[in-house]
Structure 1
Amino acid sequence: MIIALIVFLLGTRTYRFNIKVNDKSPFIRIGRVFVAAIRNWRNSLSTTDFEEECDGLLRRQSSEQFNFLNKALLTPKGSKEDETCSRSEVEEAKAVLRLVPIWTSTLVYGIVFAQVFTFFTKQGTSMERTIFPGFDIPPSSLQTIKWLAIVLFCPIYEHIFVPLARVITGKPSGITMLQRIGTGIFISIFMVVFAAFVETKRLKIAQKYGLVDDPNATVPMSIWWLVPQYFLFGVFEVFTMVGLQEFFYDQVPNELRSMGLALYLSIVGVGSFLSGFLISLIEHFSGKDGHETWFCDNINKAHFDYFYWLLAGLSVMGFTLYIYFAKFYIYNHKGTITQG
């Protein structure tokens, strides 16, 4: 790591830097638009005033959505001219604000994403993992199936799915970025439903063989039952993860590309925090009156299946909300700065 850091620092002088016309941080530029709009909220911005502020080209490009931010263009009495927000700054703020509903509706995806590295692995520890005598497959190694699914499905998506979709839709990409994200979220619903069925079957086998009270018992059920849910996880990542990265990178002005990527990455991060909060909440309410919680240490007494069904319900709600916000986004997206 030290060697890598030294090489990185030595190479910084050879990197290609963008020449910035505006040295202000994008966070500062967007923040001052909201501050100025709030400061001028009592003032009215007439159509004549707006046309004076905007030339013909930008007037056509300006979004009809979030018109309250146009008040940031006004210069209050006693203010300096350089304190007034520019037209491009207002449009930048609108572009970022327009992404918030899409970001919010995909947080359920972040919650589902967190389970693959936690409860899926926990399930595998209690199942039959012997490949041949003397060798047991580590349960966490099943995560390689996800990467295998991505490697296998990416060529299928690019060389079969996209050409077929292109014939139907007439779009070069086959389907839009929003449709790609929505398809992935839809597939994630089937993933958690299948995981719930597998866990229900595992618990029934544990009861059948009298292993419920033995937390260290190996349930006579092959770990390969977990393969489909890992494979579906890889498939929906091809749709959702790639779609989210393209969408948030493409739908912001050029100078805000890094913020777009930050929004995309934060979905998984915030989703993991929400997953932890949801689990704590369930533990609190399911563990009352001396009952075993859904996530007790003895996995044969736990109820991961209930949790998976809950995630399936949340995924359906999130998918419905996403469809609504995606349609709303498309409706209000015409004529804005970015056209991706």
Structure 2
Amino acid sequence: MTGHNPAMNVTGHTRRAASIRDVATAAGVSYQTVSRVINGHPSVRRTTRERVQAAIDELGFRRNATAHALASGRTRAVTVLTANTTHYGYASILQGIEEAARAASYAVGIGVLESADEAAVAAEVQRASDAGGGLIVIAYDPAGVAALAAVPAELPVVGVVETPTTPPGGDRPWVWTDDREAAYEATRHLLSLGHETVHYVAIPSSTRRTSARTTGWRQALKEAGAPEPLPVQGSWGPAGGHTAGLALAGDPAVTAILCGNDDLALGVLRALHEAGRSVPGEVSVAGFDDAPHSAYLTPSLTTVRLDFTGLGRAAFALLHGVVEESAQIAPHPVSVPELVVRESAGPPPAPRPGPPATGTKA
């Protein structure tokens, strides 16, 4: 007769492995007390230690190698979980993490999230955990959001997230850029040039239907009493911007377009050129992020600069403080947007004169 495997349920399907919080609940103690027990800390009463050990045995809890290594000070490493390593924002965050980690003598590994499938995400999180060290999750897409939620509670983790709708609690070590304010300022700038309204080509949102960038755009239009066109849904790259730009180029009422990132703006500029609409003579275009190529387009692109590299450095600093227990850093925006005015935005075209008036002489 085979023994019972606590990791299997009665139907033979694998269930979620017990976490340190499950052990704490079963033993009636805090998860910090469980951590002290599994790491052999002397300041735990014998009866408490025995109760925790009994819960560990009953639940089949397996101590995470990363958490133990961090507690014992035998590893100086960080793994970054991300679904993308090439888009400008993602790549710049990775650069900032690597720079800060190298300065602190930490090794950096990268785990690529190939899909948002629950099993695939769980497997990648487990691989990152087994590698040893703390975790940073870039949660700008569904896979990243799922990975951030799947990290075991006992592991030190920092999330790089979209601008939250409300400030998160202190137990969520997150960093973000103020995308809402950035889109608000870019839209206000275009309206200040005299445009009746501003159309918007949106990037996908990872956490909600309306991204912070869309919210900032709408807020600026509302405050100005400007009409609010329906946003055009783009993707992340120039191809999505090109498709959206072709749709907008056919409408003569479109005189100003804000794009959710500079790659979308690149595609929009191409579409306007193909449609014979000059920029900024007939249509003004503004981007988002200030990617390196934006200053060298023709015309050069008005955009909003976000310090993604600084965001990566801040994410590592927050994780380092948690791991070393040397700092208590509240989650907060770390990148203040900066409007960069270039050639692609200007006043709307002057109204075309109508036909001369006709009449009869008296």
Q: Same fold (TM over 0.5)?
A: no
Higher relative contact order (CA 8 A, sep 6+): 1
Instruction: Give the structure with the higher percent helix.
Output: 1
Task: Provide the TM-score with structure 1 as the length reference.
Answer: 0.26
Instruction: Give the structure with the higher percent strand.
Output: 2
